Each structure stands twice: as structure tokens, then as C-alpha cells.
């Protein structure tokens, strides 16, 4: 590519500059600071504690969000409490348990269930401000969002609990060069499991006991369970339903790739680390990888793209379901300034502040951040626009059509988490693939009983 690439670091540094900040602000709806059904005068005063994840690439957009808020409400102090992911939940629990104030917080939907990071934890404690009135008053407009994700994932118990600001999800990446060399058509949105299976076999290259190339780095078993029409949890969410025929079909699909050596297992993952290794033909991985791939694309030595997941036998949108999780700005009911907290939340996730976060390349659930937006803000070259359009269009389609499943789930039982389910299954499946000490059917039966026992013990 002849045009100079704009790295993610450059991208973030530029968006922190005032001139670009003004341009970004012009892209979004006019905002007086955010939501709420009560007008807050510009001379309002108070203090809000803003709790969020600390990372190097988070700080520039946070800085711009803070600065633009101060232009609207100069007398409202924002105390930043930015905490590394490794300490995020522990610090939050410690602060709240010790009576310290958190007004506005970054939480997740469909991830971190049973943990302080998971929004369900705080909804269950009736600790969050209900933002449904903000949507009802059209201060955050439903029609501005991808409807599939808004209605199916951001609405919980029939209500909205903050301002959605990011959707991260898996897409089906592929190495165009390896497909062309093998004379196989590249994956497309109409692929079925059968297409995927045959391509994975054909694109795996073995040299005696050594493997030179693998046909895929497949999704985890839970994705295949959903695509087969199964569910992780029972209807009442008190237990699991992984003993169904549909769930078995999903496990068998995962087993096809891992048992035949078409997808890396164990230490093989160190060599076949992902699409970027150049030794993997397809890879179910995050849509956010487009920014990383862009930075190293000159060194990859191959062309690539992304599409929707191959369809399993499930009916409806779940046949192509891929893993997804969602970030939300929320406000605690304990805040002394509920109107200001609502305004700040909506500023961050919907109004002017949302521009700075989307400009980092992360995908927003707001439809105004479309392919043309990323083309303009990221300064994509013509070649890059074609390459990355495949990823972004797959992302937007998944958002709109609800081709997504929860990243993690947890039983509606105290003291349980995704690990209550995942750990027994992962351990028993390792005995099938790595140790070869039991059959798939034996592993699934043992894991199922272990999970039931774990749920029972947690409830007691």
C-alpha cells in the first residue's frame, strides 16, 4: 500500500487534539451533557466519581471526554478513578464495601457474570439507575442504535441500565492467500458447517508427526452449542441444559476440529497463535483485531478478510451466532447527584463523548459510526477500506441481525459464575483431546454432573 498508514497510537494521539475533537463533536447529535428527564442548568455544581478501566489506549479518549464535559458543566468536578483490569472488580468491591462513592461506572453485559464487572451483579442488588426513562424521553433515541443488539442484549428485564458504548464480538477471519494457494473459494456469509469442515481439512498440512499449517483456530465449544440450537442454561437459569441433543451436536462439531488436528490444542497454540501467525487458514477472533492487523499488515505477508460465522443447524439468528460482549456506562442509585450522573453517562456513551471512544477504532452500537465514519476518521487507504470493510460489515450485520451469543453466562444462583460451568467442561474435554483418557461422551457426562454439584454447593 502506497499511502502512509496511521497507527493506532497515532490515531489515539490525534483524537486527543483539540482540532480533531471539534470535528468529532460536530459528527454527533447536539448534547447538553447527556440524558435524564430533568434539565440541568449549565451552572450546576457537584462532584462525580468516575470509575473506569485503566489502559494506555483508554486514557486519550477519557481525557477528551472529560475536557468536553467541563466545557458544558465547568462547575461539576469529575474525580477519575481508573483501575487496571487485573484489580478492577476487587477495587470496586472494596470501595463500595467501605462506603466510598462511585457515581458513574464502566460495566459489561454478557461478560463477567457473577462479578463486580458484570452489570447483572448490580441489577440484582437494585443498585443502578434505570435509564429506560432516558430512552423514553428520546434523549437517547432507540432508532440511533442497531436494533438487533439494542433490544436483544442491552435491554435486561425489559429495561435499559445505562448508555451502551461498545460492542466487541468475534468474527470469522480468513487468510485469503492460503485459500488462493489451495484453489479454494474464500469463506462467505452463506457458508454452512459442512463448508467449514471440508475447508479446515483441506487446508491442514501435516508432515509426518509435524503440522506445518492448520485449517482453523476454531471457536470454543459454547459457540458451537449455540449454533447447533442448544443453550447453556436451563429455562429458569437455575441450572444448565448441556445434556440436550442440540448441545451434543455442538460439542461434536468442536470435537471434529480438535480431535482431527485441524485446530490447535494445548501447546500447539504457542505456534499457531492466530491468523497473524500466517499458519492458520481461518480464525474465530475479535472484530477489534482489525486495528492490530492494520498496524502489522505490512509484516503479515498475506491478505485477509472476515465474514459471518458458518451456519449450524439452529433455527433463526443463533445458527450464525458468534461470541459477543457489551460495555455500558451506568450510574449508581447511591449518587448524590442523580441528574448530573445521568447527564454524564449519556455524554460518555451517546453524545459528544461517544465520538472520542469510537474514534479509537472500537465498534459502537450507534449506527452513526458506520463504515464511512471509520474510513474518514481512521484515514483508511482504498486498499484498506476493502480489506477492513469485510470485518466491519460483518460486525454491523451481526449487530443488526442479532447473530450473537453471550460471551459468558452464569446460573441465577448466588456464588456462581461462568467458571462454575466452563472449568469442569474444559478440564474434562482436555482429558479427551490431550490425555486421550476418556471418550467425548464420558467427558460430557462427568462435566455435567460436576457442574450440577457445583451449583448445588454454591446455593447451599
Sketch the domain layout of the chain as residue ranges. Answer: 8-168+323-401
pLDDT at 37 over 70: no
Burial group, residue 99, by CB count within 10 angstroms (0-12, 13-18, 19+): exposed
Cα 21 from Cα 23, distance rounded (Å)? 5
**Structure confidence at residue 176 (pLDDT):** 94
399 SS3 class: helix
- 327 vs 111: which has the higher pLDDT: 327
User: What is the value of pTM for the model shown?
Assistant: 0.83
Across 291-376, where does the E strand assignment appear? 304-307, 322-331
Parallel/antiparallel/unpaired status of strands 155-156 and 104-109: unpaired
Query: Residue 382: its pLDDT value, please?
Result: 79
Tens of pLDDT, residues 112-133: 666 889 998 899 899 999 999 9
Between CA 48 and CA 77 the distance in angstroms is 6
What are 406-425's pLDDT values in tens digits? 888 889 898 898 999 999 99
Crossing angle, helix 8-15 and helix 18-27, to 10 degrees? 80
Strands 210-213 and 322-331: unpaired
Percentage of the chain surpassing pLDDT 70? Answer: 91
Domain 8-168+323-401: give its CATH code.
Answer: 3.40.190.10
Tell me phi and psi for residue 155, to 5 degrees: -90, 120
Average pLDDT for the chain: 88
Amino acid at each position: 500500500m502506497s499511502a502512509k498508514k496511521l497507527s493506532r497510537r497515532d490515531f489515539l494521539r490525534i483524537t486527543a487534539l483539540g482540532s480533531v475533537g471539534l470535528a468529532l463533536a460536530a459528527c454527533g447529535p447536539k448534547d447538553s451533557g447527556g440524558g435524564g428527564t430533568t434539565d440541568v442548568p449549565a451552572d450546576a455544581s457537584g462532584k462525580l466519581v468516575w470509575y473506569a478501566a485503566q489502559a494506555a489506549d483508554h486514557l486519550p479518549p477519557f481525557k477528551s471526554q472529560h475536557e468536553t464535559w467541563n466545557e458544558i458543566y465547568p462547575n461539576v468536578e469529575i474525580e477519575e478513578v481508573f483501575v487496571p483490569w487485573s484489580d478492577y472488580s476487587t477495587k470496586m468491591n472494596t470501595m463500595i464495601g467501605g462506603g466510598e462513592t462511585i457515581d458513574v461506572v464502566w460495566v459489561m453485559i454478557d461478560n463477567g457474570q457473577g462479578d463486580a464487572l458484570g452489570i447483572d451483579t448490580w441489577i440484582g442488588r437494585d443498585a443502578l439507575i434505570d435509564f429506560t426513562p432516558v430512552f423514553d424521553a428520546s434523549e437517547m433515541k432507540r432508532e440511533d442504535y442497531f436494533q438487533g443488539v439494542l433490544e436483544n442484549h442491552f435491554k435486561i428485564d425489559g429495561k435499559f441500565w445505562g448508555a451502551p458504548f461498545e460492542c466487541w464480538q468475534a468474527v470469522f477471519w480468513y487468510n485469503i492467500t492460503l485459500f488462493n494457494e489451495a484453489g479454494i473459494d474464500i469463506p462467505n456469509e452463506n457458508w454452512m458447517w459442512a463448508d467449514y469442515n471440508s475447508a479446515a481439512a483441506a487446508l491442514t498440512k501435516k508432515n509426518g508427526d509435524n503440522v506445518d499449517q492448520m485449517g482453523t483456530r476454531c471457536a470454543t465449544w459454547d459457540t458451537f452449542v449455540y449454533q447447533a440450537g442448544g443453550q447453556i442454561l436451563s429455562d429458569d437459569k437455575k441450572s444448565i441444559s448441556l445434556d440436550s441433543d442440540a448441545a451434543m451436536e455442538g460439542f461434536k462439531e468442536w470435537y471434529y476440529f480438535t480431535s482431527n488436528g485441524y485446530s490447535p490444542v494445548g501447546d500447539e497454540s504457542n505456534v499457531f497463535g492466530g491468523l497473524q501467525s500466517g499458519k492458520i487458514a481461518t480464525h474465530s477472533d475479535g472484530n477489534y483485531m482489525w486495528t492490530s492487523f492494520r498496524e502489522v499488515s505490512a509484516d503479515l505477508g498475506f491478505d485477509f478478510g472476515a465474514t459471518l460465522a458458518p451456519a449450524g443447524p439452529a433455527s433463526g439468528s443463533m445458527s450464525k451466532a458468534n461470541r459477543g460482549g457489551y460495555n455500558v456506562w451506568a450510574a449508581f442509585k447511591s449518587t448524590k447527584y442523580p441528574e448530573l450522573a445521568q447527564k454524564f453517562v449519556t455524554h460518555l456513551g451517546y453524545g459528544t463523548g461517544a465520538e472520542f471512544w469510537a474514534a479509537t477504532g472500537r465498534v459502537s452500537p450507534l449506527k452513526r459510526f458506520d463504515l464511512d465514519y471509520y474510513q474518514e476518521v481512521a484515514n483508511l487507504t482504498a486498499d484498506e477500506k476493502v480489506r477492513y470493510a469485510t470485518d466491519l460489515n460483518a460486525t454491523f450485520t451481526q449487530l443488526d441481525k442479532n447473530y450473537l451469543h453471550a460471551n459468558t453466562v452464569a446460573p441465577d444462583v448466588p456464588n456462581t459464575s461462568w467458571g462454575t460451568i466452563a472449568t469442569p467442561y474444559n478440564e474434562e474435554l482436555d482429558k479427551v483431546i490431550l490425555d486421550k483418557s476418556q471418550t467425548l461422551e464420558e467427558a460430557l457426562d462427568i462435566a455435567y454432573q460436576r457442574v450440577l454439584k457445583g451449583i448445588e454447593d454454591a446455593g447451599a
